[in-house]
Amino acid sequence: MKHRVFFRPAAEQDLIELYAYIAADSGLVRAGGFIDRIEAACLQLEIFPERGRLREELAPGIRILGFERRVTIAFRVQGDQVEILRIFYGGRDFETALSEER
């Protein structure tokens, strides 16, 4: 069964900010390619939504998935939907951020 993957506004904003950060440092092409790969990894959750590590201590149903050693994707599976909550880049304290959003 395929799940519907959607991005919460905070996750979309995370991607916009990450794109701007990488574009300023490494150029538009590199930034676009990196964001495309992150989005593709998120969309793969439609087939395998239970990947990642369950982190109930942060919030109910939260799963964490690492991507290319620098990105942490926080998401939740609810029924036939996968909700991408946040996307954290390089060393950001995702545990505190997710706990505070509860």
C-alpha to C-alpha distance for 11 and 83, rounded to whole angstroms? 10
DSSP 8-state assignment for residue 2: P
DSSP 8-state assignment for residue 3: P
Of the candidates 26, 6, 14, which has an alpha carbon nearest to the alpha carbon of residue 67? 14
Structure tokens at 69: 């050693």
The pLDDT of residue 45 is 96
Over residues 29-46, mean pLDDT: 96
> Is it the case that residue 78 has pLDDT exceeding 90?
yes
Q: Which pLDDT band, with edges at 50, 70 and 90, does 1 fall under?
A: confident
Share of the chain above pLDDT 70, in %: 88
The pLDDT of residue 92 is 66
Domain with residues 4-101, CATH architecture: 2-Layer Sandwich (3.30)
What pTM was computed for the model? 0.89
